[in-house]
Amino acid sequence: MRKYSFLIILILIVGCQAGSQMDQAELLITEESLLNHIEILASDEFEGRAPATRGEELTIDYLVGELERMGIDPGMPDGSYIQEFPLLGQQVDGETASFVIRSGNNVTSNLTFSSEFMAWPSNEAETVSIRDAEVVYVGYGIQAPEFDWDDYKDVDVSGKVLLFKNSDPSHDPEIFEGDARLYYGRWSYKYEIAEEMGALGAIIIHTTPTAGYGWNVVSNSWGRVRFALKSNGMQSENVPEFNSWLTEESSSRLFNGAGLDLHEMLDAAASREFRPVTLEGVTIDLDLNASYSDKSSKNVVAKIEGNDRSLRDEYVIFSAHHDHLGITEPVDGDSINNGAIDNASGVSAVLEMANALKEVENELRRSVKFLFVGAEEMGLLGSRYWSQNPTVEPGKVSANINLDSMQPYGETRDLVLVGSGRNTLTDVFKKHLQEANRVAMPDPRPEQGIFYRSDHFSFARIGIPAIYPNPGRDYIDKPDNWAAVADSVNAAIYHTVFDEINEYWDMSGMESDVRLIFRIAYDVINRDEMMEWTSGDEFEAARLRSLGN
């Protein structure tokens, strides 16, 4: 009997010690430690952290230095922290870029680069010169057999310029998940399907409601040096000659030339019976000159090895992108896009998570990878490169938790889960939120397709269960309109030179959120089972393939 009493006491002591270690580790995550990283990474010295710049080199040096200081091991197979990936830098000459709309033999519009259209060669060509190209409006341009939806209806659109409505159908909750934007609604899908269709070019109609952001985001994001993963001569023969965006006003002029109304055409796309509409009598001329440079960017990869013999070859991955927009055209004399929220805040959170998990490393059953990925703002390029060249077999990864743009406006009673309900990570988050007297909320803006706009998407595409925690909106000890204030501030600073630490910041919210995610991480790392996609989710098939099923 004494033997059993001793064992019970020993178990209780070990349990208390574990709890004590967790508590101590959590306390390492503070407002001050989080803010310190942000102040450095978002300083003017780091020049906006654009890929393949001095700012990126400073960022990489800082990350490696901090990981070494914390005692976090390198995560690459060669024993380094760095996964370098090749980029092709493309700069379109805005002075010579020309987009002419013709109706019959008459020039109806000569659009201005940046303010009325954005365009770039999509086939790595130095020059694009297109004359008298026919334009076909393809509505959303979606082929989705699972929803019995085909905007092409077997119409041959090869060799034509395809004009797309942004987003995906949202009028029926039974298809395309209603208001929630799926990948079909992303601009990247439009360009991919244009390639599949053998199009000459692709144009996306920009409206703020269908994009979820203003034209300034388009012109700022595509107006600087544009990067892509280098093809190394492996491009498909069907790559369109150009991709483009048009403003709402420019798009209206394009339709008007064919005697059509823009908004009537946008509405018509909502019908399952929609068929491609040729803009009769309308052609476009396009001239682009682009220069290229071979560049490279870097992912920083670190790890903590697990201790359970049966689980330590499995991983949980924490990701955050370290890049931002760099230096762009001056606004009120300021040309540095500091990226304090997007995404110095996420990088800071993952660094502090790594530091706290290092404190309890002897208790971790699975191993942990920390990925600070580059070139996210260029189209999730760093995380996509990792997904194509993984340092861990995807089937050995239990989960990805992606941290991008944390909560700088104070504590909240809730936490938004982008990807809520899509995999079993949701249940773990809800459990810990409930224990903390907080609630999990679904994405409040599903129509913006946020799930497909940050690095967790790259992991999801190869089957890894992924989730993207976002700031809550039910603020504690703030004015009743504080959520509206935060929304307004975010809208004003997103992808601009104004994304800096400002008078609205209250780091108590970020501290609270990162501490909570730390406890969730500890739980996911130590569970017997790996995380799973919900049955029927679009990424379940990829997961089954990665598991060899």
- Residue showing tokens 């390639």: 195
Confidence at 180, pLDDT banded by 50, 70, 90: confident
Give the separation between CA 458 and CA 428, rounded to whole angstroms: 22
For residue 438, which phi and psi values (nearest 5 degrees)? -125, 170
pLDDT digits (tens, 9 = 90+) for 250-281: 999 999 999 999 999 999 999 999 999 999 99
- CA 422, CA 85: separation in Å to the nearest integer? 30
pLDDT at 14 over 70: no
Is there a contact between 513 and 407 (Cβ–Cβ < 8 Å)? Answer: yes
Residue 220: pLDDT over 90: no
Q: Which helix (H) or strand (E) holds 228?
A: strand 226-229
How much is the average pLDDT of 487-495?
Answer: 94
CA separation for the pair 482, 410 (Å, rounded) = 10
pLDDT tens, position by position, 342-376 = 999 999 999 999 999 999 999 999 999 999 999 99
Enter the tokens of residue 17.
Answer: 């010690």
- How many whole angstroms separate alpha carbon 481 and alpha carbon 26? 31
Tell me the average pLDDT across 295-304.
97
| pLDDT score for 19 | 65
**pLDDT confidence bin for 18, thresholds 50/70/90:** low
Q: What is the pLDDT of residue 106?
A: 92
What does the pLDDT average to over 411-420? 97
HEC string of 245-262 equals EECHHHHHHHHHCCCCCH
Q: What is the pLDDT of residue 232?
A: 66
Closest CA to 81 of 91, 93, 68, 70: 68
pTM of the predicted model as reported, rounded to 2 decimal places:
0.83
Q: Is the pLDDT of residue 55 over 70?
A: yes
- DSSP tag of 506: B
Contact 139, 275 (CB under 8 A): no
Q: What is the mean pLDDT of residues 405-427?
A: 97
Q: What is the mean predicted confidence (pLDDT) over 70-79?
A: 98
Q: Work out the angle at residue 422's Cα, subtended by the Cα atoms of residues 420 and 426, and round it to the nearest 5 degrees.
A: 50
At 183 the pLDDT is 87
Dump strand ranges (E) for 77-181. 82-92, 98-103, 106-111, 117-121, 127-137, 143-144, 149-150, 161-165
Range with the poorest average pLDDT among 222-236, 239-253, 480-494: 222-236
Dig out the tokens for 330 from the structure.
């001056």
- Whether 355 and 303 have beta carbons less than 8 Å apart is answered as no
Compute the mean pLDDT over every residue in the chain, rounded to the nearest whole number: 93
Beta strands in 305-391 (DSSP E): 315-321, 326-331, 334-337, 367-373
Q: Where are the domains of the chain?
A: 24-89+294-546, 90-292
CA distance 318 to 99: 43
Q: What is the model's pLDDT at position 171?
A: 84
Exposed, middle or buried by CB within 10 Å (0-12, 13-18, 19+), for 496? middle
What's the mean pLDDT in 449-454? 90
Q: What would the two tokens of residue 178 be? A: 């209603």
Query: What is d(CA 393, CA 385) in angstroms, rounded to the nearest whole number?
Result: 14
* Per-residue pLDDT at 234 exceeds 90: no
What's the CATH architecture for 90-292? 3-Layer(bba) Sandwich (3.50)
327 near 486, Cβ under 8 Å?
no
The whole-number average pLDDT for the span 462-466 is 98
Mean pLDDT of 16-38: 89
- Are 312 and 306 in contact by the 8 Å Cβ rule? The answer is yes
> Can you tell me the distance from the alpha carbon of 207 to that of 212, in angstroms, rounded to the nearest whole number?
8
Handedness of CA 528, 533, 536, 541 (dihedral sign): negative
**CA dihedral (423, 424, 429, 434) positive or negative:** positive
Is the pLDDT confidence value at 179 over 90?
no
Residue 235 has pLDDT above 70, yes or no: no
Q: What's the whole-number mean pLDDT along residues 489-506? A: 96
Q: Which of 299, 321, 324 is nearest to 46 (CA)?
A: 324
- Statement: residue 15 has pLDDT above 60: no
Tell me if 519 sits within 8 A of 22, measured CB to CB. Answer: yes
Q: How far apart are CA 423 and CA 532, in angstroms?
A: 6
More confident residue, 11 or 52: 52
Q: Residue 146: its pLDDT value, please?
A: 87
Say what percent of the chain tops pLDDT 70: 96
CATH of 24-89+294-546, one of 3.60.15.10, 3.40.630.10, 3.40.50.1000, 3.40.50.2300: 3.40.630.10
* Chain segment 398-409, per-residue pLDDT in tens: 999 999 999 999
Percent of the chain residues topping a pLDDT of 90: 84
Q: How large is the angle between the packed helices 425-435 and 508-526, nearest 10 degrees? A: 130
C-alpha closest to that of 169 among 278, 268, 275:
268
**Are 219 and 94 within 8 A, CB to CB?**
no
Confidence of residue 7 (pLDDT cuts 50, 70, 90): very low
C-alpha span between 103 and 362 (Å, rounded): 71
